[in-house]
Amino acid sequence: MIPGTKKPAFTLHDIFLYVAIASKHARLMVLLICFALTAGLTYYVFAKPVYYAHALIHLEYLARPLDTDKLYEDGRLSAFVAQFTEPQIMLRTARALGIDTNSRDLERKYLFKFRASLNTEKNIDVEAWPYSADWAHRWTETMVQQFIAYRQERRNEEKNLIVNTYSEELKELVGRLDQQFSEKLDFQDQQDFTKTLILVNSINNLPADLTKLQMRIDEIGRVRVRLQDPALDSVAKLSLIASADDNDTRLSVGQTVAQPQSGQSADKKDAAANNSVVVVPSLLKSLHPWDELAQQQQQVKKEISEGLRKYLPTAGAMKPLYQQLDVINQRLDAEVEVATNRFNLEYQELLNKKHDLEAKLPEYQELSRKHAKLLSQLSIFDASRVPYDTYLANMQREINEVEFAGEKERINLKYSGLLEVRDDPVSPNRLRIMLLSFVGGLVLALGIPFLIEYLDHTMTNLEEVEHSFRLRGLGVVPQTEATDMFLPATAVASDDTTKHGLVENFRVIRTNILSMGELSKPPHVVMVTSAMPKEGKTVVSSNLAASFALTGAKTLLIDTDLRRGRLHRLFGYRKEPGLSNVLLGECTLEDAFRPSGQENLTVLSAGRHLDHGTELLGSAQFSELLNSLRGRFDRIVIDTPPVLGLSETSIMQSLVDGVLFVIWTGQTPVRCVKSAIETLRANRANFYGFVLNRLDLNATQNYYQYYYYSHDYYYQHAIEST
């Protein structure tokens, strides 16, 4: 599949894959089903037998004139049924049947389950699952009897308790009610509430009046200060006075305003009387009488302005206008004087009122404290008063209700008999246990294998790798006995179909590399690497080099793993001399070359072990060496260390034409493959593609997909050809 293309949602191939997964885990699935069946059998052998009884209880709900639900809990059917199944009723029933036990042991040893519910006809359906056949017949009837007896005992206890308690308290309440009434009368006689309340109401508005008066005084005071400004003319002063007028504080004709003399106290009544002023009509003219004068003044000023354009100020035509303006100004000054006197009188009157109100403040404060004290005492008295009259009425009513309803049940029970009873055990049910065990085993057999596959973070599918990493799959190398060996040219002509099939696999890989080289860089120098060690990159690189040599191309196979190189073992050579010896100048390149036993294929092993091999591979000597080898060989295959944890592969990216990435099928984790590919791409690697190595074609899920990679295909073809 070409990387990046979308896969169909569900195909026939997917069905084969699911079948293959099931066949892969067939033994595990059989074991899980057997385990579930064994668990069910064990439960059937050791479980206690459970019997079943279904009974009906008839309910009679009687309407009563009194509400006794709070006392006897008999007003709601749901609460009644809940009370019927309470633990104490169950224990009373068990004791009546001869078993004295607790709730935990009752459920564990004698009664597996019990259920009571209202049906559509408002009757109680009772279902019991006891461990005894005798209890299945007797349990429900005995339980009804015990519940009726329990209800009657409780009603009698509640009635006697309430009647006895209330009877004693009634006598005490009557005495306390008489005493409380007498105390209230005495308290009212001792305190004079009416007189105090009248006095408080008479001066209750004193603070508000005083505050309002002070605000008016401050307002007039600000206006008086502004009137002293010499820059203001008569009209401006009259406007200020008019803006400060207040209808509430305006003087009236005949009103007397006291004016204290300088040096005398303002609170002396005789001084105030000697210096008082009576308001006369001349002080109170109509609202803004100077408006007309102000308009005349503006008109005259306008005429003077126009006359000055024609005449000199001393001209005879201008004198009448100046005289008329003087007369108007004198009249306005007179208005200002009258308004100022009236304004000052109003100001003085406000000061006198303020003085009078301030004189009443001590009296107001005293009355307020007394009134607050009386209200507090009255509140304390009312709060401390216990509503004995209410208590007395409630007690008497409840006693009457209890005595009336104590002997009368609102809901009556009647046992109607058994609707169904099983003398043979209903549990454990052999067929049910077998079915449940089989279904449970089937669920485990299907779920656990697929869970194992889901948690498997390795890759076995060529298309999946292509889609995940957008790399082309160049081919697969099946897992056989010959997978981890070098296949020389003689394997092509041998009768061993396994080796012949592997040679064909590497021919496919070689062909795909050459085709990818036409799209990017020609594969002159090919790097073979993997994410982790032991993924088979050495065997893949050697067989790929042999496949190139089969085409007649002069091929060189280089082992650049200077730490743990093992290419020499594959060909049966010693490790030295090799690449490291050449780079260190210890031998010549011709001395390090080794024949492979196959025409056109030369091997250059790793050489002496070096811990600083990274520096040598990144040096200029190695770059010059590789450039010189390009001129001598048609194909160069480089076997490198793994990508993760080592830096050699990343360093050599600029020296090679492309990378062949080897993945060990079913072993290499996806996260490691992803990290390795991202590392190579970060170093601008040119990927030819990847190879799935050691693919197990005996596994069913792989056989269906990679049948044409199997040696059986070639073997069958050979038989047919003969």
Q: Which amino acid belongs to residue 554?
A: K
400 burial class (0-12, 13-18, 19+ CB within 10 angstroms)? exposed
- C-alpha distances (whole Å) from 592 to each of 13, 107, 222, 581, 672 are 51, 87, 116, 8, 35
Between CA 223 and CA 346 the distance in angstroms is 13
Tokens of 572: 């049966």
Name the strands in the sheet holding 411-427, side by side, starting at the edge strand that comes first in the sequence: 111-118, 124-130, 50-61, 411-427
611 & 624 share domain: yes
Task: Read off the amino acid at residue 80.
Answer: F
CATH number of the domain at 60, please: 3.30.70.1130
Q: Are strands 111-118 and 124-130 parallel, antiparallel or unpaired?
A: antiparallel
**pLDDT recorded at residue 492:** 41
Helix (H) or strand (E) holding 248: none
**Do residues 548 and 598 lie in contact, with contact meaning Cβ atoms separated by under 8 Å?**
no
Q: Where do the DSSP E strands lie in 44-119?
A: 50-61, 111-118
In a domain, 152, yes or no: yes
- Residue bearing tokens 């059998």: 41
Long-range pairs, 59-63, Cβ under 8 A, ≥24: 59/122, 59/123, 59/124, 59/411, 59/412, 59/413, 60/411, 60/412, 60/413, 60/414, 61/122, 61/410, 61/411, 62/408, 62/409, 62/410, 62/411, 62/412
- CA distance linking residue 113 with residue 109, whole number of Å: 11
Distance CA 111, CA 53 (A): 12
Please give the pLDDT value at position 52: 92
Residue 486: the pLDDT is 56
- pLDDT at residue 75, as a whole number: 58
Q: Are 258 and 352 in contact (CB under 8 A)?
A: yes
Does any domain span residue 117?
yes
Q: Give the tokens for residue 678.
A: 């991202």
Is 40 found in the same domain as 56?
A: no
Residue 420 in contact with residue 125, Cβ under 8 Å? no
Based on the domain organization, do 440 and 502 belong to the same domain? Answer: no
The answer on 631 and 517 residing in a single domain is: yes
The first and second tokens of residue 404, run together, are 């009336």
Residues (pLDDT < 70) of the chain are 1-14, 16-17, 62-75, 184-185, 187-195, 197, 246-289, 402-409, 456-457, 480-500, 697-722
Same-domain status, 414 and 473: no
Q: Is the domain of 68 the same as that of 151?
A: yes
Residues 6+ away with beta carbon under 8 Å from 489: 546, 549, 550, 598, 599
Q: What is the C-alpha to C-alpha distance for residues 23 and 383, in angstroms, rounded to an integer?
A: 88
Instruction: Determine the pLDDT at residue 491.
Output: 44
C-alpha 190/C-alpha 185 separation (Å) is 9
Residue 179 lies in a domain: no
| 448 and 579 both lie in a single domain | no
Q: How far is CA 139 from CA 128, 169, 196, 411, 420, in A?
A: 8, 45, 79, 21, 13
What's the CATH code of the domain at 596?
3.40.50.300
Tens of pLDDT, residue by residue over 400-412, are 776 666 566 677 7
Spatial distance between the Cα atoms of 17 and 11, rounded to a whole number of angstroms: 10
Number of H helices, E strands in the chain: 29, 14
Q: Does 650 share its domain with 569?
A: yes
Residue 295, domain member (yes or no): no
Q: How far apart are the first and last CA of the chain?
A: 34
**SS3 at position 483:** coil
Q: Is residue 620 part of a domain?
A: yes
Position 171 scores a pLDDT of: 77
- 219 domain-assigned: no
The one-character DSSP state at 107 is I
Boundaries of domain holding 529: 465-697
Q: How many distinct structural domains can be found in the chain? A: 3
Confidence (pLDDT) at 494: 43
Helix axes of 361-384 and 206-227: crossing angle, nearest 10 degrees: 150
Is 381 inside a domain boundary? Answer: no
164-169 contacts at long range (C-beta below 8 A, 24 or more positions apart)? 166/395, 166/398, 166/399, 167/399, 169/395
Which residue do the tokens 């058994």 mark? 418
Q: How far apart are CA 632 and CA 366, in angstroms?
A: 125
At 290 the three-state DSSP class reads coil
Compute the residue count for the chain.
722
The answer to whether 351 and 220 have CB atoms below 8 angstroms apart is no
State the residue for tokens 């793994």: 642
Q: Using alpha carbons only, how large is the chain's radius of gyration in Å?
A: 59
Dist CA 258 CA 274 (whole Å): 8
Q: What local confidence, expressed as pLDDT, does residue 38 receive?
A: 92
- Residues 625, 476, single domain; the answer is yes
| Secondary structure class of 663 (helix, strand, coil) | strand
* Beta strand extents in 251-349 (DSSP E only): 256-258, 276-278
Shared domain check, 647 and 590 = yes
What is residue 487's predicted lDDT score, i.e. its pLDDT?
56
User: Residue 274: which of 282, 266, 284, 283 has the closest Cα?
Assistant: 266
- Residue 434 and residue 573 in one domain: no
256 within some domain: no
Q: What is the pTM of this model?
A: 0.47
Same domain, 598 and 680: yes
What are the tens digits of pLDDT across the range 278-329?
544 444 444 466 778 888 888 888 888 888 888 787 777 788 888 888 888 8
